[in-house]
Amino acid sequence: SDVDNKLSLVRTRIHRTAHIVVDSSKCEVCPHEACVYGCPATCYRVIDGKVKFAYDGCVECGTCDVMCDQGAVTWTYPPGGFGVLYRLL
Ligand code: SF4
């Protein structure tokens, strides 16, 4: 898809501190798991009935922070030089 093609141009430099921290105890009582459907980079997945999060493909769009109404997402930008790198091709 176009989204997959564009995501293949993205590079990420991982910082030792995650810029998104997810409180899984709040995910367990979430009735809709909106993050799973909203994240364009599929950082949120349902595995064995539970929401699992991995930030290493994150494009820093902020969608999960906006969509989560359970207060499960703590979101901060990575420090300078880290995080997503967009290439304009
Ligand atoms: Fe996914 Fe965007 Fe949240 Fe990153 S900021 S985990 S890409 S929804």
The ligand 1 site (C-beta within 6 Å) comprises 20, 38-41, 43, 58-64
Q: Please, are residues 83 and 17 in contact by the beta-carbon 8 Å criterion? A: no
Residue scoring higher pLDDT (24 or 2): 24
In this structure, the residue with its CA closest to atom 8 of ligand 1 is 39
Residue scoring higher pLDDT (81 or 9): 81
Predicted-complex ipTM score: 0.88
pLDDT, tens digit, for every residue of 29-71?
A: 999 999 999 999 999 999 999 999 998 789 999 999 999 999 9
Q: Which residues contact 71 (CB under 8 A, 6 or more apart)?
A: 23, 26
Q: Where are the domains of the chain?
A: 2-85
Candidate from 3, 4, 20 with most ligand 1 atoms within 8 A of CB, to mutate: 20
CATH number assigned to the domain with residue range 2-85, chosen from the 4 options 3.30.70.20, 2.40.50.140, 3.40.50.300, 3.40.50.970:
3.30.70.20
Q: Which of 28, 26, 32 is nearest to 73 (CA)?
A: 26
85, pLDDT greater than 70: yes
- Residue appearing with tokens 């949120």: 44
pLDDT, tens digit, for every residue of 15-24?
A: 899 899 999 9
